[in-house]
């Protein structure tokens, strides 16, 4: 079974799209990669948690996604992975991984998702449609995130781009 790739700009409605896609299911595991780094992020995480049905399971895993997938006990459960760009950030800044290692891990993780018997939705931010950052570090992060997105999009069965809360099927 493959997975569904969901991308779009910041606050475009990607997470809402994923929640609505699996609405009515009680066997959903939400894998959260975001880490609370300040009060704004803490509020954002709390708001996302409040939006999820209480029957859903949440796994907070900022780095080891394959381990998180393996911890899902229900063989046919659905998964929402939210989000790849936080995952990339965690790999760069917390784990100090270099680009090649991140891309290798992305290939391995996307391939793993293709092999599991679960409905999976992968949420990510499209970072490459705005201005080019003046800071080299941010340009490198944006480039790696874009390359990771391409890996996951390529291996997905379906892909959606979310614009102003509207999902447009692109694959």
Q: What is the mean pLDDT of residues 117-141?
A: 93
pLDDT of residue 117: 82
Instruction: Tell whether the model's pLDDT for residue 111 goes beyond 90.
Output: yes
The range of the structural domain enclosing residue 115 comes to 3-169
Report the DSSP pairing between strands 28-32 and 3-8: unpaired
Residue 17 Cα to chain centre, angstroms? 13
pTM as predicted = 0.93
Catalytically active residues, by annotation: 48
CATH of the domain at 89: 3.40.50.300
User: Alpha carbon of 131 to those of 3, 34, 80, 128, 138: distances in Å?
Assistant: 30, 24, 29, 8, 12
| Mean pLDDT lowest among 21-25, 39-43, 154-158 | 39-43
At residue 55, φ and ψ (nearest 5 deg) are: -75, -15
pLDDT tens string 25-49: 999 999 999 888 888 888 887 888 8
- Confidence band (pLDDT; 50, 70, 90) for 130? confident
Number of domains the chain is built from: 1
């Amino acid at each position: 079974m493959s997975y569904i790739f969901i991308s779009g700009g910041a606050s475009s409605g990607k997470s809402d799209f994923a929640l609505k896609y699996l609405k009515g299911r009680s066997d959903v595991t939400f894998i959260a990669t975001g880490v609370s780094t300040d009060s704004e992020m803490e509020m954002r995480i709390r708001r996302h948690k409040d939006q999820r049905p209480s029957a859903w399971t949440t796994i907070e895993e900022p780095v080891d996604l394959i381990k998180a997938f393996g911890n899902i006990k229900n063989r046919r459960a659905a998964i929402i992975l939210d989000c790849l760009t936080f995952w990339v950030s965690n790999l760069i800044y917390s784990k100090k991984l270099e680009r090649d290692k991140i891309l290798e891990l992305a290939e391995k993780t996307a391939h793993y998702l293709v092999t599991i018997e679960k409905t999976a939705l992968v949420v990510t931010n499209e970072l490459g449609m705005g201005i080019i950052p003046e800071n080299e570090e941010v340009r490198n992060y944006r480039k790696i995130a874009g390359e990771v997105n391409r890996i996951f999009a390529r291996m997905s069965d379906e892909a959606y781009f979310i614009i102003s809360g509207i999902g447009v099927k692109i694959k």
